[in-house]
Amino acid sequence: MSGTPLFSSARATLLRWTRLVPGLFRHDPLFRYASIAAVLALIFYAVSIGQQVAGPDAASSAREKTAPVARDSQGSAQQGSAGTAGNTATAGPPAPGSPGAPSATTDTAPISPGRTLDHLKVEPAARDSFGTMP
């Protein structure tokens, strides 16, 4: 038994299905949105494969190469970490508890992490007719 009749019938079926695609895409919203979702999924899948092939350091090294060079007060180029004194535009927020950090508020909600719920009084909700037939 040869495999040519099997392949020819599969090829004919595949050609018949490809001829139906434009009409289905125009007239069937479910097919249209499913095909758009499938194309988007394939794009995201291809991008994720590309990121895995490139390695984890590929994106960070590309950012380092295109990062602007900061200039200090003497006008010389300065390449370094974000915490350098001349590079104040990219400096992060101050550390908690440091003099430049905003102060914490003293008024806290009655329910917050670390507080007991012993002093709270819980009452049942008021009766309503939501979800019932009149």
Supply the pTM of this predicted model.
0.37
pLDDT for residue 83: 47
Q: First-to-last CA distance in the chain?
A: 72
Write the single-letter amino acid at 63.
Answer: R
Q: Residue 14 corresponds to which tokens in the numbers above?
A: 């595949």
What sign does the CA torsion over 60, 62, 64, 68 have?
Answer: negative
What is the C-alpha separation between 24 and 97, in angstroms, rounded? 63
**Taking the CA of residue 132 as centre, how many other CA atoms within 13 Å lie in the half-sphere pointing to its CB?**
5
Looking at residue 82, its pLDDT comes to 47
What pLDDT, on a 0 to 100 scale, did the predictor assign at position 110? 63
Instruction: Of 64, 65, 89, 68, give the one whose Cα is nearest residue 77.
Output: 68
- 77 SS3 class: strand
| Residue 91 pLDDT | 73
* pLDDT for the residue numbered 104: 65
Per-10-residue mean pLDDT, the chain, length 134: 72 91 91 94 95 78 58 53 52 77 64 74 82 79
Are the C-beta atoms of residues 82 and 92 closer than 8 Å to each other? yes
